[in-house]
Structure 1
Amino acid sequence: MEIKNKNIQLQDLGTKDYKDTWDYQEELFDAIIQIKRKNRNDNLSIETPNHFLFVEHPHVYTLGKSGDLNNLLLDEKQLVDKGITFHKINRGGDITYHGFGQIVGYPILDLDNFFNDIGKYMRSLEETIIRVLAEYGIKGERSKGETGVWLDVGTPFARKICALGVRSSRWVTMHGFALNANTNLGYFDHIIPCGIRGKAVTSMEVELGSTLNIEEVKSKILKHFTDVFEVNFVNDQVNI
């Protein structure tokens, strides 16, 4: 009988450099892949783990594997002057910004434990954030053909509040979502966010007119992620 592990090991990394966190994601990702290879090659049934990382990154722009570098509007010197790092990475999507006051979540899941459908996975991440926003009286929506969570879709005031971008191999995921809670939106002025022209970016702080309690928002994310994905979170706080 196939083993389905519905437990997710939760780690909150606090504020951490993007590249260091990316490397750590890769370690966890590769470890799951290796277990799956061993199971297939040796006809074993070793349980694969699932992970969820919360993190806040210092100022950084990341460009997805199919992204257009022209969507970065700063040169190398300007990046240095503004204290912003840049990485071209292996997720889907185009360019985005990570920084202080933003809640970044990286689910590193073996989807064989849940469902084998990347589209459903992306919609489930969006649904989690939509439910969180609803608790604050913010109506989050999906925008056809545009990944992420948006407000006022179909109007001239459409704006993105949460970006999504993932990588998947052998049904194992990495990267994830970035929810603008108390984010300084000025940093989005130096890019064409997600490669989409003519649409704005917003934050929960801007929409509500008050600063959010980040830990409270994280707890709501975990609550709704648990319901949407039908999982159990296990605290696994370690230093890396």
Structure 2
Amino acid sequence: MNKEVALISLGTIDYQQAWDYQERLFADTIAIKTANRNLAPSEHRTTPNYLLLCQHPHVYTLGKSGKESHLLLNEQGLYDYQAQFYKINRGGDITYHGPGQLVAYPILDLDNFFTDIHQYLRFLEEAVILTLKDFGIVAGRIAGLTGVWLDFEKQKNSRKICAMGVKCSRWVTMHGLALNVNTDLSYFNHIIPCGIPDKAVTSMQQELGRTVSIAEVEEKLVFYFAQLFGATCHILSHERRYQF
């Protein structure tokens, strides 16, 4: 099993461009697994693992199980707020991505780690929970809901700080999580976030009352991701990072 994960920082990148890149890495990994079926074990190629980190310009994305009515803007409204809208192939409902939000897309072959999608989701949540703890923010889970929440125990003032939505096929994953660091939360006013009308959204900046270093958050998130998955993360050389 290959537990090395190539860490790729994409900076601020158009959503479609990042999605296309994910799809290519995902398809390449599936192709290796398919080819391995016809080979002797000694001839199997090792499947790669990737962790893409980025931010996006203003964009709303709707998962396969979501309702388009949860987007509260028409075409003119999207234009006015300089936001794009995509229907995509992950699970979950609608969410927002934008500047100041750290987005992580793991493209992992779970055969290299464990074949349990629920454990995979819990590990992603736990990496965020541990990261937030280092900043003095107590976060956790709400039964029946994915993502990471504040005031999660009594649920009287629950606020989502990290949304999640993934796709998994033949134990290869794509899409991932979005952690609100210094996010402009007003953009969530134009959707029903994750299709949940009675829960608020928050950010690290709002909870701490100060701007937070995204680079510092990224470093801690990668550390806990590697720790939980028993992985070794290494940065690809600039030349090998990506070609669009």
Amino acid at match of 1:61: Y
The answer on 1:21 being equivalent to 2:50 is: no
Cα deviations by residue, 1:160-198 (Å, 9 ceiling, x for unpaired): 000010000000000000000000000000000000011
Relative distance call for 1:108 and 1:227 in structure 2 (3 A) is same
Aligned to 2:8: 11
1:218 paired residue number? 218
Paired with 2:5 and 2:155, the residues of 1 have a C-alpha distance of: 38
Q: Look up the SS of the partner of 2:89 in the other structure.
A: coil
* 2:182 is the alignment partner of 1:185: no
Q: In the aligned structure 1, how far is the partner of 2:32 from the partner of 2:95? A: 32
Secondary structure of 2:165's aligned partner: strand
What is the distance in 2 between the residues matched to 1:78 and 1:152?
32
Q: Return the alpha-carbon distance in structure 1 between the equivalents of residues 230 and 138 of structure 2.
A: 23
Q: May I ask how many residue pairs the two structures share in their alignment?
A: 237
Q: Deviations over 1:66-98 (max 9, x none)?
A: 110010000111101211000000000000000
Gaps of 5+ in 1: none
Q: What is the percentage of aligned positions where both structures have the same residue? A: 56
Q: Give the equivalent residue in structure 2 for 1:33.
A: 30
Which position in structure 1 is the counterpart of 2:102?
A: 103
Say whether 1:204 aligns with 2:204. Answer: yes
Which residue number corresponds to residue 165 of structure 1?
A: 165
4+ residue stretches of structure 1 with deviation over 3 A? none
Structure 1 counterpart of 2:117, one-letter code: I
TM-superposed CA distance for 1:41, in Å, is 2.2
Distance in 2 of aligned mates of 1:180 and 1:220: 15
CA displacement at 1:155 relative to structure 2: 2.7
CA distance in 1, matches of 2:81, 2:130: 35
2: CA distance, partners of 1:65 / 1:80: 24
Q: What secondary structure does 1:218 align onto?
A: helix
**Structure 2 equivalent of residue 133 of structure 1:** 132
Moved more, 73-82 or 46-55: 73-82
Deviation at 1:121, TM superposition (A): 0.1
Deviations 1:23-79 (A, max 9, x none): 000000000000000001233411000000001000000000111001000011110
TM-score (norm 1): 0.97
**Aligned position for 1:117:** 116
The whole-number CA distance in structure 1 between the counterparts of 2:242 and 2:118 is 33
Helix, strand or coil at the partner of 2:16:
helix
- Provide the alpha-carbon RMSD of the alignment: 0.8
Q: 1:116-143 CA deviation, whole Å, 9 max, x = no partner?
A: 0000000000000000000011111101
